[in-house]
């Protein structure tokens, strides 16, 4: 089996292919540090698709070149976990000299581009160079959707394959399908929260936050709801902090004008105090979504974790990333900036989720082809060779 280096990991690996944050039991060590556990979802999911017997980390921040020479002999290839690397402010540290010295294939595993609200995406020469180096070293470069593929095409990279995100396929079950229960049977739900927001990517901050607030209040009033956060400091303190830290968190939220004016009213504060969930262990999120009848909200990877476990999810799109994911997988989605009213009943339609089921199955096949053509030893099923049921003639 393969000997694999990972570039830009997100957490520590245990039990061969499971991921959690570094020193996860020492809560106080990182309680003031923001890390998006969604990145660990992708890392964990990538490992679950691959066969390997040795895993190492490629240093790009402060590399020692003599170590790079050793890694070249000890490993077969590098993989870059899927994330939002293709944007105008991305910094690559010492990636270019490291990759030149290493000389191994670098497999981009579902990377994505982020479009600004205004103007055209302008990539640095450094980013263009890194992308070309990866594309030139492999049969194909894997991207999350059509927009990301076009960005790479525009800078001259042609060997692009749209593979979505490894998180969607983490269960590695090509028979996975979303089957809606009766809406009246839905009781326990998860709401994926993204209170943090940037005007660089979200076109209307007031609408973003007020809609988020009203959605949480409506759903929490209708169902037994858990608020699923993914690493913001204040939300972490409300889950793991001391009583003093919890009050510090609420005070910090109220001191943020955007949050205090448009998001954190009395009802939301109560929900934050009583129904917030966070964990530094990816498996805890998987256990949570498996216990829910529905997971929906603002978090790209939180929603995808649910779908990958057969739990229905609805995306609320607000930037190019969320739109691209919804388009790649044909996930039922609501545009936060549409100024329309969201009604859950409008989305509780099996035909909408059958579009997702078909798109997911097709993208599963693309991910299989991507890994295979790049020489990755993997666990995915070749769906192109599956035995099809014979077509039955209608009398």
Q: Within 13 A of 393's CA, how many CA atoms are on the CB side?
A: 1
Please report, rounded to a whole number, the percentage of residues in the chain having pLDDT higher than 70. 97
Q: Does domain 2-172+360-384 have CATH number 1.20.1070?
A: no
Decide if 183 contacts 343 (C-beta within 8 A): no
* Mean local confidence (pLDDT), 92-98: 96
Asked if residue 391 has pLDDT above 60, the reply is no
Predicted confidence at residue 47, as pLDDT, reads 98
Decide if 150 contacts 120 (C-beta within 8 A): no
Q: Rounded to whole angstroms, how far apart are CA atoms 337 and 329?
A: 21
- Domain range annotation of the chain: 2-172+360-384, 183-351
Q: What is the four-CA torsion angle of 62, 64, 69, 75, rounded to 10 degrees?
A: -40
Q: Rounded to whole angstroms, how far apart are CA atoms 307 and 326?
A: 12
Q: Within 13 A of 9's CA, how many CA atoms are on the CB side?
A: 20
Q: Rounded to whole angstroms, how far apart are CA atoms 371 and 335?
A: 33
Predicted confidence at residue 393, as pLDDT, reads 38
* Mean local confidence (pLDDT), 11-35: 96
Predicted confidence at residue 334, as pLDDT, reads 98
Contacts of 1 (CB under 8 A, 6+ apart): 51, 52, 53, 377
Q: Rounded to whole angstroms, how far apart are CA atoms 59 and 272?
A: 38
Topology agreement, domain 2-172+360-384 and domain 183-351: yes
Q: Rounded to whole angstroms, how far apart are CA atoms 63 and 337?
A: 44
Lowest mean pLDDT among 8-17, 117-126, 348-357: 117-126
Predicted confidence at residue 385, as pLDDT, reads 73
pLDDT digits (tens, 9 = 90+) for 297-328: 999 999 999 999 999 999 999 999 999 999 99
Confidence of residue 386 (pLDDT cuts 50, 70, 90): low
Q: Rounded to whole angstroms, how far apart are CA atoms 337 and 322?
A: 13
Q: Which long-range contacts (CB under 8 A, 24 or more apart) does 333-336 make?
A: 336/207, 336/208, 336/211, 336/212
Q: Rounded to whole angstroms, how far apart are CA atoms 98 and 309?
A: 37
Higher pLDDT, 246 or 395: 246
Asked if residue 45 has pLDDT above 90, the reply is yes
Kindly report the average pLDDT of the chain as a whole number: 95
Q: At what angle do helices 350-373 and 320-329 cross, to 10 degrees?
A: 90
Predicted confidence at residue 341, as pLDDT, reads 95
For the domain with range 183-351, which CATH number is right: 3.40.50, 3.30.70, 1.10.8, 3.40.30? 3.40.50
Question: For 99-124, b where at least 16 C-beta lie within 10 A, e where not — what string?
Answer: bebbebbbbbbbbbbbbbeeeeeebe
């Amino acid at each position: 089996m393969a000997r694999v280096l990972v570039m830009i990991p997100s957490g520590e690996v245990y039990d061969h292919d499971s991921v959690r944050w570094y020193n996860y039991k020492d809560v106080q060590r990182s309680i003031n540090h923001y890390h998006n556990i969604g990145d660990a979802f992708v890392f964990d999911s990538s490992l679950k698709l691959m066969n390997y017997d040795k895993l190492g980390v490629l240093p790009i921040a402060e590399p020692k070149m003599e170590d790079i020479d050793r890694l070249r002999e000890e490993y077969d290839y590098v993989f870059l976990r899927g994330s939002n690397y293709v944007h105008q402010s991305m910094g690559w540290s010492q990636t270019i000299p490291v990759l030149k010295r290493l000389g191994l294939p670098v497999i981009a595993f579902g990377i994505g581009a982020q479009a600004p609200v205004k103007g055209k995406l302008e990539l640095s020469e450094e980013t263009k160079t890194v992308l070309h180096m990866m594309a030139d070293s492999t049969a194909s470069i894997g991207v999350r959707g059509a927009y990301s593929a076009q960005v790479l095409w525009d800078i001259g990279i042609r060997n692009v394959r749209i593979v979505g995100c490894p998180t969607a396929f983490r269960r590695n079950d090509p028979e996975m399908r979303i089957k809606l229960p009766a809406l009246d049977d839905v009781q326990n739900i998860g709401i994926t929260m993204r209170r943090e927001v940037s005007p660089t990517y979200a076109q209307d901050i007031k609408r973003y936050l007020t809609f988020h607030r009203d959605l949480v209040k409506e759903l929490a009033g209708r169902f037994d709801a858990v608020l699923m956060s993914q690493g913001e400091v204040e939300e972490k303190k409300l889950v793991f902090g001391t009583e003093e830290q919890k009050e510090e968190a609420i005070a910090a939220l109220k001191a943020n004008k955007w949050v205090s004016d448009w998001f954190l009213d009395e009802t939301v504060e109560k929900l934050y105090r009583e129904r917030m969930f966070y964990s530094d262990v990816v498996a805890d999120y998987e256990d949570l979504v498996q216990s829910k009848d529905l997971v929906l909200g603002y978090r790209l990877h939180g929603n995808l974790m649910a779908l990958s476990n057969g739990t229905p999810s609805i995306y609320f799109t607000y930037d190019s990333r969320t739109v691209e994911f919804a388009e790649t997988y044909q996930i039922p989605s609501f545009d936060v900036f549409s100024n329309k009213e969201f009604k859950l009943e409008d989305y509780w339609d099996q035909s909408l989720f059958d579009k997702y089921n078909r798109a997911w199955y097709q993208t599963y096949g693309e991910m299989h082809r991507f890994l295979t053509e790049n020489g990755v030893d993997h666990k995915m099923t070749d769906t192109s060779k599956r035995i099809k049921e014979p077509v039955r003639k209608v009398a």
